Amino acid sequence: MNALIINCSPVRNGATAEIVRIVTEELTSKYTAESICIDDFNFSFCKGCRSCHNTAECVQHDDIDVIMDKFENADIIVSVAPSYWADVPAQFKAFIDRCTPWCNTHEPHAKLSSGKKGYTIALRTGPNMKECERIIGTIEHFYGHLEIECCGSLGLCSIEYKEAVEPRKTEIIDFCENI
C-alpha cells in the first residue's frame, strides 16, 4: 500500500515539514511512503470557467495533473496543514480549488479510484483548538468531495517553530499508529 503525506505549507523546513518528516518516517515501516510539499509544484489559480463541469477536465494543464497522479497512486493520504489566518495556507487552498474536475457535485466528474483513506494533522501557534478544527473541517470537506474516506485527525496547538514539534513527537507517533 502507498501513503502520500502532504506538507500543505509553502515552508519546506518549518514545524509543518518536521511533522511531515515524522509521519513519513513512521508510515515507512507499514507502507511505501512519499512526502511532498505543495510549494514544490507550479500551478495556476482556478479560472472559475466551469468547463470541468461539462468535461471532467481542467482547461489548464500544469502540475495539478502531477499531484493528482500522486493522489491516484496513494491508498492513504495525510494532509499536514498549518493555520494561516484560521484556515489552510493559500497555496493548498488554490490546489483544492483546482480539484473541481474531481468534485462529486457535478456530472461528469473525474474520479479517483475508490477505497482511499484520508487523515489530517492541523497545527497552529496559539492555544485555541477551534482553529485546528476549522482547518481539519476544510480538509475533510475536500476529502469528502473527492470521495476519500475521512479516517482520523489530530490538532496540535502552540506550535510555532520546528523546535516545538519535538515535545509533541509521541502524540504524532501515536496518531500514526492508527493509520
Would you state the cell numbers that stand for residue 89, as one nine-digit string? 495556507
Considering only CA atoms, which of 43, 170, 157 is closest in space to residue 100? 43
pTM above 0.75, yes or no: yes
Q: Which three cell numbers stand for residue 146?
A: 473527492
pLDDT of residue 84: 96
The C-alpha cell that represents 177 in the structure block:
499508529
The predicted pLDDT at position 12 comes to 93
Cα–Cα distance measured from residue 82 to residue 84, given in angstroms and rounded to the nearest whole number = 6
**Distance between CA atoms of residues 119 and 170, nearest Å:** 17
- Look at residue 35 in the predicted model and tell me its pLDDT: 98
Helix-strand-coil split of the chain, %, nearest 5 = 40, 20, 40
pLDDT of residue 43: 98
Place of cell 511531515: 20
In angstroms, the CA 55 to CA 51 distance is 6
Residues of the chain with pLDDT under 50: none
* Pairing relationship of beta strands 76-82 and 149-156 according to DSSP bridges: unpaired
Spatial distance between the Cα atoms of 16 and 83, rounded to a whole number of angstroms: 10
Q: In sequence order, which residues have a C-beta less than 8 Å from that of residue 156 and are 6 or more positions away? A: 19, 121, 122, 123, 124, 132, 168, 171, 172
SS3 annotation, 45-100: CCCCCCCHHHHCCCCCCCHHHHHHHHHHHCCEEEEEEECCCCCCCHHHHHHHHHCH
d(C-alpha 84, C-alpha 94), whole Å: 13
Cα distance between the two ends of the chain: 12
Query: Do the Cβ atoms of 92 and 102 come closer than 8 Å?
Result: no
pLDDT of residue 165: 98
